[in-house]
Homo-oligomer: A and B are copies of this chain.
Amino acid sequence: MVVRVLRLGHRPTRDKRVTTHLILAARAFGASGVVYSGKRDLVLEETIGDVVSEWGGSFDIGFSDSWRSELREWGASGRVVHLTMYGLPLQDVVSEIRGCRSDLLVVVGGAKVPGEVYDLADWNVAVTSQPHSEVSALAVFLHELFEGRELDGVYGGARLRVVPQARGKRVEDVSGGV
């Protein structure tokens, strides 16, 4: 199952850090890549590209000037999950989503999500019905979707790798480079 994330309505100045956190969470919890709409942000793309170069894996980031086309194109072959606190509880629908075995686009809102997104999604999913963050919602959704296996993810081609420690920090250079 390939899982991609669609981030709606990115605003480079206001959302810079939250979108960066969101996309890094997408990568760390097993998504294959992200596409974002709103305003193009080359600094964001470079930041994510740098993390992928250093920490490995094949995560990609792309921009789309039409979230509607993205959603419709994806919907032709895969399924769409929209994360919203107004949707059905994660714990009630996650096994159905897991079981569909289609590729999945996970849509994560920005400031104002158009009503059309709720209609185009196959599932509107609430990771709690409380207000919190798209970053935490996405991470917990992916963690449940992959049943925790993403925590053991291996990132090929990394330059850096953390060696887990009870205290302190240890990072190895595993690039094997000159």
Interface residues of A (CB under 8 A from B): 17-18, 21-22, 24-25, 27-29, 51, 55, 84-91, 115, 118-119, 123-124, 126-133, 135-140, 143-144, 148, 150-153, 155, 161-162, 164-171
Contact = CB atoms under 8 A, between A and B. Distances in A.
A162 B28 contact: no
A131 B165 contact: no
B131 A168 contact: no
Copies of this chain, count: 2
A24 B132 contact: yes
6 contacts: A21-B135, A86-B164, A86-B170, A88-B165, A123-B166, A133-B135
A24 B133 contact: yes
Given A17-B18, A25-B136, A137-B139, 13 more contacts: A17-B17, A21-B136, A22-B133, A28-B132, A29-B132, A86-B164, A87-B166, A126-B162, A126-B164, A127-B151, A130-B153, A136-B138, A139-B139
